[in-house]
Structure 1
């Protein structure tokens, strides 16, 4: 079958757009490699990365970062897929989901539309209510999505599909429990890097660097994170030999000289990290890497830091979230010891690492006093030598966040939080060391181009364009009872 995998563009406020970081969908690359090995023809459309330099001005102060939906539809029309899969990791990307799906159905009403990723897995019924969406893949897709394709192609038993939700011909929802996470990575191929827009990503990131997945799953229960619900509570690491082989391939074939480890538990297993470093050193790989997903302060020690530096490690990012102990413990459910964090940062700086920290501002019930408590703690870290800071919007935890604030009358609104966030990003990174500012000053980087767009747009109705003849596999798409 011919399959198009799409990462939608990102719709945020103008203020948030200033501090966005590019995001390469390595998970789609892994899924594409798996599907290609099974005989499918696969296309990846990364609207976010390919249109990184574009800013579509929408209503109010909203902007769309990425390709316009008309361009995405044109590329889908040229490829003529039978199945289109949307990967929606972020809530802000879901804002474009329905209109994109509408465009796909306008190209040919028999194209089967599937959604996956963090947002659809959490909002299954909301996504299935969209008339243009046919199915949702829950959690990890490497087994569920190929099984769904086999049922479409060969008319298999739909009741046996685990980890898939779909609509039958009457419109009723059928939701099957999520599959147990794959126990290991050994049977999975390397991501299809040739299908990912690496050239666009290099330009957006300001250098030949790429993100890598090193693990899945998490035993933590932080209130703002959905990793364990998507990938299980047991952390599964990529085998060190396979990870280093992938780094060698990317360095040799694509000229990559820096890797971004985005996993939030990179040091959760120090023995695994030691083995990875030993293999990098033994292979003589002349590369650098950053730990951007968050480092566990409890795992930091001088011996491990020394080994990591020898293996090319240059930057560690700590997820601090808040300087308020009430927010950390009662709202975010983070078992973070701030004193231990300071000691870990001191060790990392002494070992020669550049250190960055990430905070969340505006968590449910957070007061203005607690926000300033966080900013004061961040300033304390800056005085210790931390060079880069990110201040992101706090999570919308809904009714689960019921712990009362000490001063409810000081709880502030989203607009004021965004203003504080923007000011903090500027002030704390005023020395020009923030990644976004570094990329702006990188030589050869294209200037951002703004264009007027409409949202929500009204896509053409089905069959407005000439119907694309699909092959005999299309008949299997009728099996949805």
Structure 2
């Protein structure tokens, strides 16, 4: 038997990026519960390779139709809807066997809130005596909605470490629940009462995460365990699309770099970690502190060949050549840079200053250090046109960078979410609050968005060919040669056809070529711009 089980639910989507599902937040809550004397287990519903095909939900059918049939070429997008992870029934049965009296379920994203709620109901059905609490960004935004379900006993809003520990202590001793930070619950009359979100002001006061409870074998890179670290929470900026910025009630807070090093020391003393991802919204804001940390990390672990990354994106104005060199020397091989857009008007709409000049300086510094760069832009946002996004893609085509094209979705709590709500543009179902649903059709239609996504794939494929030494203006050598894989050869052939007639094709696994649905004007604008675009590779 165990006192408390913390659960990462399975999810349903077109795809799963395992490296972005590391249950870091649950491991931090587990550490606090342990410190208070509770026996805790972390059950990860995604810690398996299992996936099961399912019918596409009605809320995502339009997007699925636009993605089209399976495409084995480099220009393919998504196909097939899957349940990733253990079944709900398996999760519930494993939890029942542990006989916890409290179960905490993570519900980070609104798009997956249905899975978290269904798991709660499945657990309650076979283990009705346990109390169930949901926490994460979605419960923080919608506590009253969740408490309308009788299978949800409590909701924690905001930071979960101190709140979950306080709730567990109150339940164990039978004391009243009033005053538990961030707690939403029903009072004796059945009325839902929701406290303001809990905030851990001093992150240094928290114990290191309980990494030993995480299935590190499921989160590995090149056969070595991967680790996630968050040196801060929130962000001081106020970008319109972000729910964690300066407008958030949680505010911006950070750990001391000393404490970050202690957290890493604790993990590396036990595990042969080969990859560490800093999941901060703005990890490089403290330049001098970060440089000191990087130098100390290199001194302690430089011989262990650990790759460092900040996959959530780095803010270009916060970087400079010296800092980038220090990052390279400590283990960074790739810079993930947040560009947003090259259009100053769109950047004002995002409530962000233009960063293109700083972005270019970062590219030069990264090239001097032999580092790769991914540049992220946002497409199909409110008031954003397809022409503006195409200009962004062409700007990245001319730079030594891999294109990272992200599709906008309205994040509850963000300014853009509020604007979309006022304009009646929010999806009718919460399952559609994800990029893969192409949730917004404002000044960029959904067909234009999918066309832009394929153009981004085409640009990255052209860059790939250039890095291999091929001239995209003379594709016959690539098509007829034996230097390319079958997939690469098919891509070169389809690219050749596109340059001829402006139609984007796919190819199935039997070699049959078919046409994708596209916005013809957007595709033709891209084709017309290719002769005057000075393409560069990712490394050349």
Could you say which TM-score interval applies, normalised by the shorter chain?
A: 0.7 to 0.9
Query: 1:326–1:147: structure 2 CA closer, same or farther, 3 Å change rule?
Result: same
Residue 168 of structure 1: how far off its partner (Å): 2.7
Residue 275 of structure 1: how far off its partner (Å): 1.5
Aligned counterpart, 1:420 = 452
Deviations 1:218-260 (A, max 9, x none): 1111122222466733331x33233223333433422112211
Aligned counterpart, 1:139 = 158
1:393 pairs, out of 404, 407, 413, with: 407
5+ long unaligned stretches in structure 1: 434-481
TM-score, normalised to structure 2, is: 0.71
1:266-277 paired onto structure 2 within 5 Å:
266-277=283-294
Aligned counterpart, 1:311 = 330
Aligned counterpart, 1:246 = 263
Aligned counterpart, 1:227 = 244
Query: 1:208–1:268: structure 2 CA closer, same or farther, 3 Å change rule?
Result: same
Deviations 1:270-322 (A, max 9, x none): 01101201211332443221122221211212222222222222221111233
Query: 1:2–1:422: structure 2 CA closer, same or farther, 3 Å change rule?
Result: farther
2:234–2:281 CA contact under 8 A, matched in 1 = no
Query: 1:399–1:292: structure 2 CA closer, same or farther, 3 Å change rule?
Result: closer
Q: Provide the rounded CA distance (Å) in 2 between the counterparts of 1:106 and 1:18.
A: 28
1:260–1:291 CA contact under 8 A, matched in 2 = yes
Structure number with larger C-alpha Rg: 2
Secondary structure, counterpart of 1:360 in structure 2: strand
Q: Provide the rounded CA distance (Å) in 2 between the counterparts of 1:206 and 1:427.
A: 31
Residue 418 of structure 1: how far off its partner (Å): 4.1
Residue 158 of structure 1: how far off its partner (Å): 2.2
1:259 pairs, out of 244, 251, 276, with: 276
2:443 pairs, out of 395, 404, 411, with: 411
Residue 365 of structure 1: how far off its partner (Å): 3.0
Query: 1:416–1:80: structure 2 CA closer, same or farther, 3 Å change rule?
Result: farther
Q: Provide the rounded CA distance (Å) in 2 between the counterparts of 1:11 and 1:223.
A: 27
1:335 pairs, out of 353, 356, 373, with: 353
Query: 1:45–1:316: structure 2 CA closer, same or farther, 3 Å change rule?
Result: same
Indicate yes or no: 2:350 matched with 1:352: no
Q: Provide the rounded CA distance (Å) in 1 between the counterparts of 2:461 and 2:110.
A: 27
C-alpha RMSD of the superposition: 2.7
Per mean C-alpha deviation after superposition, the further-off stretch among 134-143 and 315-324 is 315-324
Residue 150 of structure 1: how far off its partner (Å): 1.7
Residue 3 of structure 1: how far off its partner (Å): 0.9
1:128–1:173 CA contact under 8 A, matched in 2 = yes
Between the two structures, name the one with larger relative contact order (CA 8 Å, sep ≥ 6).
1
Query: 1:290–1:372: structure 2 CA closer, same or farther, 3 Å change rule?
Result: same
Residue 69 of structure 1: how far off its partner (Å): 0.8
How many equivalent residue pairs?
A: 417
Q: Provide the rounded CA distance (Å) in 1 between the counterparts of 2:83 and 2:109.
A: 14
Secondary structure, counterpart of 2:206 in structure 1: coil
1:325 pairs, out of 344, 354, 357, with: 344
Residue 379 of structure 1: how far off its partner (Å): 1.6
Secondary structure, counterpart of 2:280 in structure 1: coil
TM-score, normalised to structure 1, is: 0.79
Query: 1:56–1:256: structure 2 CA closer, same or farther, 3 Å change rule?
Result: same
1:40 pairs, out of 38, 44, 49, with: 38
Aligned counterpart, 1:440 = none
Q: Provide the rounded CA distance (Å) in 1 between the counterparts of 2:386 and 2:18.
A: 24
